[in-house]
Amino acid sequence: MKTENFIRLLAEDLPSGPARQGIALTRWMSATALVTGAAFLLFAGARADLLGGGLLPSIMKVFMGALLAWAAIGGATSLARPEASVGQPLRRLVTFAAFLAFLFATELMFRGLDGWLVRMFGKSIVGCLTVIPLLALLPLVVSLHALRGGATTSPTFAGGLAGLASAGVAIIAYGVFCTEDSLVFVATWYSLAAIMVAGLGAVLGRTLLRW
């Protein structure tokens, strides 16, 4: 039997395909993100000026996390079927990359180049690179479990996208806590934290999502 025919037959055995995986992934990701985020904020607390000067920066961080989760969840679920290509996931990630470029451009436009390195390094890099991956662990485990119901032919990429989605929901919670409001700090270190989780997801996905 030719490989193309084999893949087509497998796809026909998954009648609800991406829709089913998308519903399962979104449902479980939302539930675990809510539990994890609520537990973190109950323990660590939201920033003191959340309803004041910190409101707009927090909204921006929450939007960043939601955008990353949207891009990655959609990409991961599209890969649940064996005939899926990586084109759609990559297009969604380009949208997120464009948002990061917008953050950098906005910071440099309104605050200039003076002191931008100081603003980028901030004072809480270690916390950012520690807490976001930790908050993403449970959503990552759940998302990989949900994706196992599919038949992806790109397990490493699908696992990496699951990691990015998990990092996105973690950023939503952490962004309400974090007081670093420099756009270059957020764009740089939040993204690096997400890449760390994506790397873990890719490693796990290569094994757990392979069939």
Q: C-alpha distances in angstroms, 209 versus 98, 122, 141, 148, 162?
A: 29, 38, 12, 6, 11
Q: Tens digit of pLDDT per residue, the chain (211 long)?
A: 454 554 444 344 444 445 565 566 677 777 888 888 899 999 999 999 999 999 999 999 999 999 999 999 888 887 766 656 667 778 889 999 999 999 999 998 988 888 888 999 999 999 999 999 999 999 999 888 888 876 677 889 889 999 999 999 999 999 999 999 999 999 999 999 999 999 999 999 999 887 7
Best CA proximity match to 175, nearest among 35, 15, 66, 32: 66
Instruction: Enter the tokens of residue 182.
Output: 């420099």
Report the amino acid identity of residue 34: L
Position 15 scores a pLDDT of 42
Position 13 scores a pLDDT of 45
Q: Considering Cα of 186, then 49, then 136, then 81, what sign does the dihedral take?
A: negative
Position 89 scores a pLDDT of 75
- In the chain, which residue ranges form alpha helices assigned H by DSSP? 3-12, 17-44, 55-78, 87-111, 116-121, 125-147, 155-177, 183-185, 191-208
Query: SS3 sequence, 28-44?
Result: HHHHHHHHHHHHHHHHH
Position 6 scores a pLDDT of 44
Identify the burial level of 162 via C-beta atoms within 10 angstroms of its C-beta, where 0-12 means exposed, 13-18 middle and 19 or more buried. buried
What pTM value is reported for the model? 0.85
Distance between CA 131 and CA 103 in Å, rounded? 22
